[in-house]
Structure 1
């Protein structure tokens, strides 16, 4: 019997940028193993000194992923040119119809990847995301941050969202443990998910590869620079306007709540990409 017998092959490349986080990386990889699916995994590691994926813990999980039929591709690129460059490099490696950008501090529940693939195919949009919750905040219920919550009925249609618009306030939906509390408000059908309207989703986003490339991907990385941030906000707003997008509940993604590796953020991707495009 094959070790991966019964595991479904999904049309997904999982793109995982990492730097200096061997223990969180191992936990994130374990969440991918819990998906019980075959996919292609591409890791871009910018850890100085030696790759984080060579740590005992991460390497052990990678061995099991390979045993289960997951194609694993590892890149050690210690020169840091910014997170947008990391994402751009990963997109250049992509071959599948869909790409999941998964941060190295996110733990996926079993079945999360399958639900995302089902949703993006049914909704017909450019991206779907599962907003990671911070479970240390699970007792911190914030109704005032949930006021912008609105479900999609049918397809997820294109929307134009900019700062200052009421729809921009949807960013608050993903603070703290709001994703957990929002899931408690909805009736989830047998398919296992409902879709809601977003401005953007961080850390766990499944894109249609064609849609991501159609808006230029992260080709602006040189302008954003080493300490730039907001690259995903900019890209998702552009995709949202042309192809639509959605968040999914219940979210099967959880923050590990470890310290950020991007403390300095001196360039805003929204201003650089979205406002510049609007000005043309």
Structure 2
């Protein structure tokens, strides 16, 4: 049986990630492993001995573990395939990546908290870049009836990695749509060179027509391969994050599936990628597919 790894919610939050993981587990016939984290800067308390610090750590871990177990016990679904672990860890993403590297998980499920700022990089930021299995970011409690799955693809990247990523995104989106009996949409957003348009160097309408003519055959090929109605293909122009969010809203999407091509170092912090930036615009769940 495959498993789903869930990052437990904070005590001031509702158990949205756990609830969504239950729905995923039911559809995929998977078990659930919930991992909770806690950490306090106890070493800064000068009056504590090393032994006292360890005792307090264990008390905090035990309290957090009991709280999560109580949350699981309150679930309406059966809990026979749910296991719980609680760890003392400041850098959550390291523990999550270690867990994933030593076990067979289908998804990482986590509640969306934002990807931080330049000086504070969040757990999500690291997981979107470094996880080698899909990350499911949860915003909504439940899927609405007649909602759709939206695959957001980049047709501009014709490198080997780019083509492979498109295949992964489309395959994951098609599988997700089939599993949840949802209609599959596909979106490609092209960012226009607004400076050149403003300077009248290029004609906006003509440029858009040329882009459509170039990329529409690729969209139609995807539609044929993944059985997507042509009316559910979307070629949009403008800021990719805003365009994808707009299409998701209009098509009543419950989950946007997108790939994450990681950038590292300072450049990565400054530039990011579309998947990371999109989290600020979407009000739907996201399934972020990692490169193989």
- The two structures have a TM-score, normalised by structure 1, of 0.38
Q: Greater relative contact order: 1 or 2 (C-alpha under 8 angstroms, separation 6 or more)? A: 1
- The two structures have a TM-score, normalised by structure 2, of 0.37
The structure richer in helix per residue is 2
Instruction: Say which one has the larger Rg.
Output: 2
